[in-house]
Amino acid sequence: MDVLGNYKSVISARSTDKDITKKSQDGGIITTLFAYALEEGIIDGAIVAGPGDEPWKPEPVVATTKAELLAAAGTRYTISPNLNLIKEATRSYGLDRVGIVGTPCQMQAVRKAQLYPIGMRDVDDKIALALGIFCMENLSYQALEAIVEDHCNQKMESVKKMDIGKGKFTVYTERGAVSQMPLKLLSKYVQPGCNVCLDYVANLADISSGSVGSPDGWSTVFVRSMKGNAVWDGAIAADLFETKPMDQVKPGLDLVTKLATEKITKNQKNVDARKTFGLKADGTAKGLRNPYETP
Amino acid sequence: MAEKITIGELHLSGCTGCLVTLADNYEGLFKLLDDYADLVYALTLVDVRHVPEMDVCLVEGSCCLNDKTSVEELKEARAKSKVLVAYGGCAAYGNITRFSRGGQWNQPGHEAYVPISEVVDVDLYIPSCPPCPQQVRNVAVMAYLLLRGNDEQKNLATAYLTPLMQLAQRGNEACGCDLLYDVINQGLCMGCGTCAGTCPVRAITMEYGKPNVNRDLCIKCGACYAQCPRSWFNFDVMNNYEGIMDAINGAMQ
């Protein structure tokens, strides 16, 4: 499989909705698509990373209005266990058509829950729109605090936006200050479970979106499944996005491919290294578990 | 249409919730029985008194070692089935019967309950309490393709069923602790929240992005670990999720 996964088309795009682009991390793709899908009845609600009880700590919520979607706009570089709500969305929330956004691993979890529903009764055919975001790695909340408060010397509650790009972790404050940490310091803070991840651009989403490859304020969008294709075509017909062909934007698909290849190559090495992590009494290797081979 | 396969359900120390789950496929169950499988044994639904020959035997419930008939019927089902399935948390992992310890009238000596793999070899697990209608449907369709399909269908069915067969090889102890031992302790948890979402008794909460297991609430059904995308993730099947879901839905039309 290609490092970018199966896809029908790839486009550089941004939302035409100014309410959304004011708050969005990049081109406002996810927020706009969910708002459109809600309006059209494609979904009854979407599981998104809403505001939590501490600054920049996301809390999975079922959003059923555009205002709730807007409250979830923007990237939080820490874990939001969105799958926690996937069954509940079809229970007390009473949704028949569930939208969910997530990182590549969360899109994998969605597909596993659909193909192998172990404790996920009546979930498989209620997943109406799974939107994926590109993800290189994620951080625990405590790691994020260390980066923002120690390395960047900013208070969590004063931060307006965080961004990873061009080799830096950048923090923008409400009052206009900009602080940065070189990304080479990031590795010790990365969630260990991210080191075995073999997916960068959410290969299993219906539509996936991320910043890499497109100019600031724009997103790179992969339209992947039949479902994704129908929703994307509808949103384009409704003039919800400005688009540019991917081969006409800088830095373009080559950079996406390069970063995806780097991530997968590095992490495949980590997966392989687990096989010979330890030592048996007879001198041969003792390994750690590999989820891609057997439970 | 190829000849149907034969399916039976052996009811041991279970609650019939697994059989209800099969029935909760609604018209899907009729489709299964019309086109793919004959239900040749199930005391709740079929007037066949003794364990017959079966292609697939779904075993519901754990096995009481102090009840001779249970042990004999389980062994007979093993001898007469091509594929023996531990259907549900009790058969696979003991589930709530792990907590049985005897001392109740009128069989105070009925105290030892084991997952069926303590007594017989098991080919395939469908964990959880209850299991999912869609999961048992998928297994039934795939078993049909495995036994009656062309080479391409057999390959698909084999790929699909492999992790559920590997789960049966892995062992018969399940608990929320599996998330500690085999996911977090192994450096594999990435905080997706699936375990908390799947737990039937809400014994798992996500604290700062990691599962926290209330082990006194856990009933040992095996759902959390089996549903976790870091217990197994078979790319060969998952990358083709759209095609496989279409195929299963198509088979049920």
* Chain A residue whose CA is closest to B229: A109
Best mutation target among B138, B198, B213 (most A Cβ atoms within 10 Å) is B198
In this structure, are A42 and A145 located in the same domain? Answer: no
Does the distance separating the beta carbons of A83 and B193 come in below 8 Å?
A: yes
- Of all residues in chain B, the percent with pLDDT exceeding 70 is 100
In this structure, are A202 and A232 located in the same domain? Answer: yes
d(CA A229, CA A243): 15
d(CA A80, CA A106): 10
Q: Does residue A278 fall inside a structural domain?
A: yes
In this structure, are A38 and A151 located in the same domain? Answer: no
Mean pLDDT (whole number) for B100-105:
97
pLDDT digits (tens, 9 = 90+) for B220-251: 999 999 999 999 999 999 999 999 999 999 99
Alpha helices in chain B (DSSP H): 17-23, 27-31, 68-80, 89-93, 133-148, 151-170, 177-179, 194-198, 223-227, 235-238, 241-251
In this structure, are A72 and A118 located in the same domain? Answer: yes
d(CA A177, CA B3): 73
In this structure, are A227 and A124 located in the same domain? Answer: yes
B134 touches chain A (CB under 8 A): yes
Residue pair A3/A226 in contact (Cβ under 8 Å)? The answer is no
Q: How far is B168 from chain A (nearest CA, A)?
A: 10
In this structure, are A208 and A145 located in the same domain? Answer: no
Q: Does residue A215 fall inside a structural domain?
A: yes
In this structure, are A17 and A52 located in the same domain? Answer: yes
pLDDT in tens, chain A (295 residues): 589 999 999 999 999 999 999 999 999 999 999 999 999 999 999 999 999 999 999 999 999 999 999 999 999 999 999 999 999 999 999 999 999 999 999 999 999 999 999 999 999 999 999 999 999 999 999 999 999 999 999 999 999 999 998 899 999 999 999 999 999 999 999 999 999 999 999 999 999 999 999 999 999 999 999 999 999 999 999 999 999 999 999 999 999 999 999 999 999 999 999 999 999 999 999 999 999 999 9
Q: Does residue A152 fall inside a structural domain?
A: yes
Q: Does residue A108 fall inside a structural domain?
A: yes
In this structure, are A232 and A121 located in the same domain? Answer: yes
B40 touches chain A (CB under 8 A): no
- Number of structural domains (chain A) is 2
Biggest alpha carbon–alpha carbon distance for chain B:
54
Q: Does residue A17 fall inside a structural domain?
A: yes
In this structure, are A101 and A218 located in the same domain? Answer: yes
Residue A168 is part of a domain; what is its CATH number? 3.10.450.750
In this structure, are A117 and A17 located in the same domain? Answer: yes
Q: Does residue A184 fall inside a structural domain?
A: yes
- From A167, A189, A211, the end of a domain falls on A189
In this structure, are A254 and A117 located in the same domain? Answer: yes
Q: Chains A, B: CB contacts under 8 A, how many?
A: 173
Domain that holds residue A158: 139-189
* Chain A residue whose CA is closest to B195: A84
Q: How far is B14 from chain A (nearest CA, A)?
A: 17
pLDDT digits (tens, 9 = 90+) for B41-63: 999 999 999 999 999 999 999 99
d(CA A203, CA A108): 8
Computed over every residue of chain B, the mean pLDDT equals 97
Q: Does residue A1 fall inside a structural domain?
A: no
In this structure, are A14 and A149 located in the same domain? Answer: no
With a cut of 80, say whether residue B1 has pLDDT above it.
no
Helix axes B151-170, B241-251, angle to 10 degrees: 110
Instruction: Give, in order, the Cα–Cα distances in Å from B194 to each of A80, A118, B106, B190, B191.
Output: 11, 11, 41, 10, 8
Does the distance separating the beta carbons of A108 and B241 come in below 8 Å?
A: no
Does the distance separating the beta carbons of A115 and B238 come in below 8 Å?
A: yes
Q: Does residue A133 fall inside a structural domain?
A: yes
Residues of B in contact with A122 (CB under 8 A): 132-134
* DSSP conformation letters of A51-80: E-SSTT-EEEEEE-SHHHHHHT-S--SS--
